[in-house]
Amino acid sequence: MTTVTIRRGDGGPVTLDAAALDNLKSGLRGRLLVAGDDGYDKARTIWNAMIDRRPALVVHCEGVSDIQRAVNFARTHALLTSVKGGGHNIAGSAICDGGLLIDLSGMRAVRIDPLARVAHVEPGATLGDFDCEAQAFGLATPLGINSTTGVAGLTLGAGFGWFSRKHGMTIDNLLAVDVITADGRFVRATAKENADLFWAIRGGSGNFGVVTRFEFQLHPLGPEVLSGLVVYPLKEAASALKQYRQYAKQLGEETTVWTVLRKAPPLPFLPSEVHGTEIIAFALFHAGNPDAGRKAIEPVRHFGTPIGEHIGVQPYRLWQQAFDPLLTPGARNYWKSHNFTDLSDEAIDITIKYVSKLPSPHCEIFFGMIGGATMRPAPDATAYSHRNAQYVCNVHGRWETAAEDQKCIEWARGFFRDTAPHATGGVYVNFLTEDESDRIKAAYGPNFDRLAVIKKRYDPQNLFRMNQNIKPV
């Protein structure tokens, strides 16, 4: 290899000579890539097309030894370093400009122990990989709602999905992690072993090292579950949302109902004349017996006069992919997110106002219902502290061309600003965009100071800074 000029963590350039690069390369099972190499563009491309960065070096890892080698190399040369799992993070923190990218996306193994009901997961696995293996045994753990999301980043930020109300956040089901820390050590963390690190990893995002293996508790689920959609026109949204917030208060933990307001996609169960018009959709999921589920979701079918519904018993794996077509990679995306403990009349009115002026047909506002088991742990039991959140709201600006950037971003910011007085002030760290460094403290909440102390213990030089960063104190 020839020399490479690369950015250091402090921003300055450093030139790495051929001997150093050859030494790194020769010890890898995976590949060392530079611009122009086959696989380089794939490695630097992530879900959000707004992020277009060019690392100087990519270590495409095949195993833990590659990760350890990359971390040691990055620390020795004090390089700007980023870590990529599934590449979904909206802020694009997985990719650094001009630095070293540790690409884990090739490490996707998921091993299920059906007797112990435990999953061992490599850090490049997607939710789809996980569900495929776990559902072969009728098992699952709470993960997100889009099958191409990475298990790693989702878990490190806390994670929630369709059956979090029953079994908690993803981190509440995490049993152990293997980590390569900034000093290149292999460390196992559990509730008993390196407990400070295990506490910090459960919501402290990628600040504390590279996780090389996740171990999750599994629960029986499905494989067939009751799930589906009920859709109303926007003119019924205010009434439907007011009924929804009452309904949510007495809902059992096996049932989850999210709501999304957007333009109707061309779904086959919707009449063609409503395609492209503004709607409110309720997405229903029941984690238990389907007959009990039908009773539990019945009120949602009577919030107004539905323009369409599609409810049935279907494989959980398929439900986990149901929203993939609306969330394909390659679009431009900008998010703003709030946590809510309840939906006030004002928040409902503002939501409807913003949905009446969607700047692109792909934009949407959703309220993901959590609550239930996610609220049981104390706020300081894990780094994730937002145990009061009933709803995670995300205004999802999504569009196709750079020419639309400004109007879509302004729309999302406007909704965020206007609804802020009705929200908790807390935010889910995994929904922060790259321009929200002023909200990092709000994301870690009262646990921020403790996280900063643990950061100093495990990463005193802030090698892992490409994340919603906690500076070591």
Ligand X SMILES: Cc1cc2nc3c(=O)[nH]c(=O)nc-3n(C[C@H](O)[C@H](O)[C@H](O)COP(=O)(O)OP(=O)(O)OC[C@H]3O[C@@H](n4cnc5c(N)ncnc54)[C@H](O)[C@@H]3O)c2cc1C
Q: Given the complex with ligand X, which of 142 and 306 has the nearer CB atom?
A: 142
Choices 51-59, 79-87, 222-230, 442-450; region in contact with ligand X by CB under 6 A: 79-87
Nearer to ligand X, 419 or 468 (CB): 468
Among 145, 363, 412, 440, binds ligand X (CB under 6 A): 145
153 binds ligand X (CB under 6 A): yes
CB of 311 to ligand X, least distance (A): 20
Residue nearest ligand X, Cβ-based: 153
| Of 235 and 471, CB closest to ligand X | 471
Which span sits near ligand X by CB under 6 A: 18-26, 87-95, 305-313, 381-389?
A: 87-95
Q: By CB under 6 A, name the one of 68, 149, 337, 385 that touches ligand X.
A: 149
HEC assignment per residue over the chain: CCCEEEEECCCCEEEECHHHHHHHHHCCCCEEECCCCCCHHHHHCCCCCCCCCCCCEEEECCCHHHHHHHHHHHHHCCECEEEECCCCCCCCCCCCCCCEEEECCCCCCEEEECCCCEEEECCCCEHHHHHHHHHCCCEECCCCCCCCCEHHHHHHHCCCCCCHHHHCCHHHHEEEEEEECCCCCEEEECCCCCHHHHHHHCCCHHHHCEEEEEEEECEECCCEEEEEEEEEEHHHHHHHHHHHHHHHHCCCCCEEEEEEEEECCCCCCCCHHHCCCEEEEEEEEECCCHHHHHHHHHHHHHCCCCCEEEEEEEEHHHHCCCCHHHCCCCCEEEEEEEEECCCCHHHHHHHHHHHCCCCCCCCEEEEEECCHHHHCCCCCCCCCCCCCCCEEEEEEEEECCHHHHHHHHHHHHHHHHHHHHHCCCCCCHHHCCCCCHHHHHHHHHHHHHHHHHHHHHHCCCCCCCCCCCCCCC
Site for ligand X in 199-218 (CB under 6 A): 205-206, 210-211
The reply on whether position 139 binds ligand X by CB under 6 A is: no
The least CB distance from residue 48 to ligand X, in Å, is: 7
What is the sign of the dihedral through the CA atoms of 115, 117, 121 and 126?
positive
d(CA 269, CA 310): 7
Q: Which is nearer to ligand X, 123 or 168 (CB)?
A: 123
Pick the binder of ligand X from 9, 30, 99, 161 (CB under 6 A).
Answer: 161
Contact residue for ligand X among 55, 123, 228, 371 (CB under 6 A): 123
**Least distance from ligand X to the Cβ atom of residue 18, Å:** 29
| Smallest separation (angstroms) from ligand X to the CB of 430 | 4
Beta bridge partners of 150: 126
Burial of 97 by CB count in 10 Å (0-12 exposed, 13-18 middle, 19+ buried)? middle
Out of 31, 84, 336, 387, name the contact with ligand X by CB under 6 A: 84
Residues, the chain, total?
473
**Residue 9 binds ligand X, judged by CB under 6 A:** no
Closest CB 206 distance from ligand X, rounded Å: 3
State the minimum distance, in angstroms, from the CB of residue 22 to ligand X. Answer: 27
Q: Name the one residue in this structure whose structure tokens are 């879509």.
A: 408
CB of 106 to ligand X, least distance (A): 12
> 149 vs 424, which CB is nearer to ligand X?
149
Distance of closest approach, residue 90 Cβ to ligand X, in angstroms:
6
Taking CB under 6 A as the rule, does residue 144 contact ligand X?
yes
For position 426 contacting ligand X by CB under 6 A, the verdict is no
Applying the rule CB under 6 A, the residues between 89 and 108 that interact with ligand X are 89-90, 93-94, 104
Structure tokens at 392: 């995670």
Which C-beta is closer to ligand X: that of 258 or that of 303? 258
CA-atom Rg of the chain in angstroms: 22
Shortest distance in whole angstroms from residue 286 CB to ligand X:
17
> Could you give the string, one character per residue 443-472, with x where binding to ligand X holds by CB under 6 A and - elsewhere?
-----------------------xx-----
Among 43, 58, 83, 237, binds ligand X (CB under 6 A): 83
* Interaction pattern, residues 33-72, with ligand X; x per rule: CB under 6 A: -------------xx-------------------------
* Closest separation in Å from C-beta 324 to ligand X: 8
Q: How far is the CB of 156 from ligand X (least distance, A)?
A: 5
- Burial zone of 337 (CB within 10 Å; 0-12 exposed, 13-18 middle, 19+ buried): buried
Binding site for ligand X (CB under 6 A): 46-47, 82-90, 93-94, 104, 123, 144-146, 149-150, 152-154, 156-157, 159-161, 205-206, 210-211, 327, 430, 466-467
